[in-house]
Structure 1
């Protein structure tokens, strides 16, 4: 098995892409470069559209009420739909209006990773050009394998109690993992209850809902999210707060054990 790895910079964070192929597949350096260029261009385009920091982004212009409905792109409408549905489904735990105006930052990274994966890497898996592919954006990962392949990705989850040792590892084929927490970015999530979770990891078939649910988990707190996860058949890991912090595993009927 041949592995090609490259890292891109976009949205003020690294995105690492891993491609796996057999020698017979003829995955040339030029084709890898093409994947790299296409993914970089798309991530840059999406950052320009959705950045909360660029004054000329559609998100900022929308917040300033400078745009008509006709000026909103299909991608903008898709993300807006995800955001308002997530707010409704989680009873406000995922809140795209937390800043006093529309800001979909909590789901754009996961949606962008899923978008470029499905646009450029999924077709290569379906055609048999690759055995497996994965994109990792600051710890949120979308994985895939070719139809009929027995290959799996092993994805480790950082342990906020001991960053030198993963708290768990998932064995994934076509799935996604998102983690939200306070260790790396501080307490940036608006909580609905006193803090009871310092980190939440959710596993889903695709990254957008995983990203939404992981953010919502920290906002909801342990008790409410455990109920929510049972209702929605979610799998993942929760790390509680306090001097006697614990790792709580939730299993929604689909096993991803490594």
Structure 2
């Protein structure tokens, strides 16, 4: 029997859910471990919010909007920090990281703008706004840093971290566990349009039902786009791009990108409520699944 433990974190004005899955013999250990790891994830998410929130005057994004881009040139010192895990640095070491989170996101949004033919634009209403990629990136980073070590050391069979329609998942190679992720109906938050089966991968959803017209759009033929990819950073980027570019242009952009063609799958909801699946290279009539 599979046991799933879950905890909720409130950050970036939304709830994030941490989930660990294991067998019945791991139940007690899962409770202890999830209670230990959740505060670390919460601290990390609050740090990301403090860095990137355009609504905080003291954030680096707000500073950039005022013309202060010094964060692009800074380095940051890490000491005895769980973030070191992803950098391959032993705990307790003090060192200079080659860049800040701000600089990494800046590079990512420039890459995203190029990959999406300008439809993913870090400028919104004339101001720098990288939030279209920050949440997905932060979830993926936190999952890699805090949850993957639990899978790799056998503490749990599977782990997931999600928030605001975005989720990153992973499953141990020796486990047959599968995550089942529902695609919410934008017209009815209690209804599910599709169920995505996922082992190692990510799902991101973008649309206008909750936050209104927060994305600069050149077409308005999609109400919601849910994208499945290996990495949540890119799933988030592509979901935002689909809403910005519109369905037909988005299909054309993906057709010109071999990596996106091989990795990406999507569920589109049109303004009239109709739903279509987009699975490049696989046909649109197959059930959505992703088992990398």
**What is the TM-score normalised by the length of structure 1?**
0.92
- The unaligned stretches of length 5 or more in structure 2 are 76-98
- The unaligned stretches of length 5 or more in structure 1 are none
Give the direction of change, closer, same or farther, for the CA distance of 1:228–1:121 in structure 2 (3 Å limit): same
- The reply to whether residue 229 of structure 1 matches residue 254 of structure 2 is yes
Give the direction of change, closer, same or farther, for the CA distance of 1:123–1:256 in structure 2 (3 Å limit): farther
- 2:29 aligned residue: 27
- The reply to whether residue 53 of structure 1 matches residue 81 of structure 2 is no
CA deviation after TM superposition for structure 1 residue 28, in Å: 4.9
CA deviation after TM superposition for structure 1 residue 15, in Å: 0.2
Deviating more after overlay: 136-145 vs 248-257: 248-257
- 1:252 aligned residue: 280
- 1:189 aligned residue: 215
Q: Secondary structure in 1 aligned to 2:114?
A: helix
Give the direction of change, closer, same or farther, for the CA distance of 1:196–1:152 in structure 2 (3 Å limit): same
- 1:164 aligned residue: 190
- 1:77 aligned residue: 103
- 1:216 aligned residue: 241
Deviating more after overlay: 183-192 vs 148-157: 183-192
Counterpart Cα distance in 2 of 1:67 and 1:257? 42
Q: What aligned pairs does 1:62-211 form with structure 2 within 5 A after superposition?
A: 62-68=64-70, 69-71=72-74, 73-193=99-219, 195-211=220-236
Residue by residue over 1:128-160, the C-alpha shift from the partner in whole angstroms, topping out at 9 and shown as x without a partner, is 111111112012111111122211000000122
Give the direction of change, closer, same or farther, for the CA distance of 1:157–1:28 in structure 2 (3 Å limit): closer
Counterpart Cα distance in 1 of 2:108 and 2:65? 17
- 2:84 aligned residue: none
CA contact (8 A) 2:74 2:100 kept: no
Give the direction of change, closer, same or farther, for the CA distance of 1:100–1:226 in structure 2 (3 Å limit): same
Count of residue pairs brought into register by the alignment: 255
Counterpart Cα distance in 2 of 1:46 and 1:221? 29
What value does the CA root-mean-square deviation take over the aligned residues?
A: 1.8
Counterpart Cα distance in 1 of 2:155 and 2:57? 40
CA contact (8 A) 2:20 2:30 kept: no
Counterpart Cα distance in 2 of 1:41 and 1:13? 15
Counterpart Cα distance in 1 of 2:125 and 2:156? 42
Counterpart Cα distance in 2 of 1:127 and 1:226? 40
Q: Secondary structure in 2 aligned to 1:167?
A: strand
**What is the TM-score normalised by the length of structure 2?**
0.82
CA contact (8 A) 2:204 2:235 kept: yes
CA contact (8 A) 2:15 2:164 kept: yes
CA contact (8 A) 2:222 2:271 kept: yes
- 1:240 aligned residue: 270
